[in-house]
């Protein structure tokens, strides 16, 4: 697709979806808006972009575990962030090029979950090689990883069983204290900020505590979602 810059930005803005968090709005989407022009220019398909996220995440994990110090951690951070730029862009590219499909949506969502598993595995391997695990810390790491993945899987499945709740947390009428607290928690689970916080945690040798933190978030949000869905009685 051959687009002039000015025409591209207009088309992009018409096809992007609203940001879900502050990091998503001011960092990830800004980068995606810039790079999507080149994805369109060089005819990179949405499914190729989804596949590239896995490749970048895998390279990031390998780089982290080369044990080259701060350079490996910085490379890990940058590769994770660029993989998320691709993830933010693939849907826009699909809509602009009329290549949206059920398979593409399924492919994207399932690879997103795979990416998180690769990230957790990479961090676990890195911690084992640099600090080793006690039995308790290893069990907490596994449980926390599973709790966060459980929440992400629930989020992926919910629209199929409760489509009427799509965009529930983005509804500005939800101003109760409970919903405000949940919205604050949501700021931490956007994939971009999730990757950023994990990378900073590794830099300061706090990676296990960050994983525990996200396990707790996964538990809280899973319980909150079960409660919300139960109350709908659909």
| Total domains, the chain | 1
Helix axes 29-41, 70-96, angle to 10 degrees: 60
Position 165 scores a pLDDT of 75
CATH number of the CATH domain containing 141: 1.20.120.1760
Position 168 scores a pLDDT of 62
Position 174 scores a pLDDT of 57
Position 167 scores a pLDDT of 65
Who contacts 47 (Cβ-Cβ below 8 Å, separation ≥6)? 90, 103, 104, 107
- 């006690």: which residue's tokens? 134
Position 185 scores a pLDDT of 86
Position 178 scores a pLDDT of 67
Helix axes 102-130, 135-161, angle to 10 degrees: 170
Mean pLDDT by 10 residues, the chain (234 residues): 76 88 92 94 94 98 94 96 96 93 94 97 95 93 97 92 73 64 84 95 95 96 90 71
| Domain span at 134 | 5-232
Q: Quick one: tokens of 40?
A: 């369109």
Position 47 scores a pLDDT of 96
């Amino acid at each position: 697709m051959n687009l002039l810059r000015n025409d591209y930005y207009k088309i992009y803005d018409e096809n992007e979806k609203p940001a879900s968090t502050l990091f998503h709005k001011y960092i990830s989407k800004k980068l995606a808006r810039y790079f999507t022009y080149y994805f369109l220019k060089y005819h990179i398909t949405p499914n190729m972009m989804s596949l590239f996220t896995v490749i970048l995440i895998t390279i990031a994990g390998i780089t982290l575990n080369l044990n080259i110090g701060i350079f490996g951690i910085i490379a890990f951070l940058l590769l994770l962030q660029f993989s998320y730029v691709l993830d933010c862009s693939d849907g826009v590219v699909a809509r602009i090029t009329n290549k949206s499909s059920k398979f593409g949506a399924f492919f994207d969502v399932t690879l997103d979950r795979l990416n998180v598993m690769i990230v957790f595995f990479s961090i676990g391997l890195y911690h084992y090689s640099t600090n080793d695990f006690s039995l308790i810390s290893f069990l907490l790491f596994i449980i926390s990883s599973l709790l966060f993945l459980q929440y992400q899987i629930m989020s992926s499945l919910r629209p199929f069983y409760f489509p009427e709740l799509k965009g529930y947390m983005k509804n500005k009428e939800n101003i109760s204290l409970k919903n405000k607290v949940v919205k604050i928690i949501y700021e931490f689970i956007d994939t971009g900020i999730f990757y950023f916080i994990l990378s900073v945690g590794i830099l300061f040798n706090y990676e296990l505590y960050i994983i525990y933190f996200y396990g707790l978030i996964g538990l809280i949000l899973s319980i909150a979602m079960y409660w919300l869905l139960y109350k709908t009685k659909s």
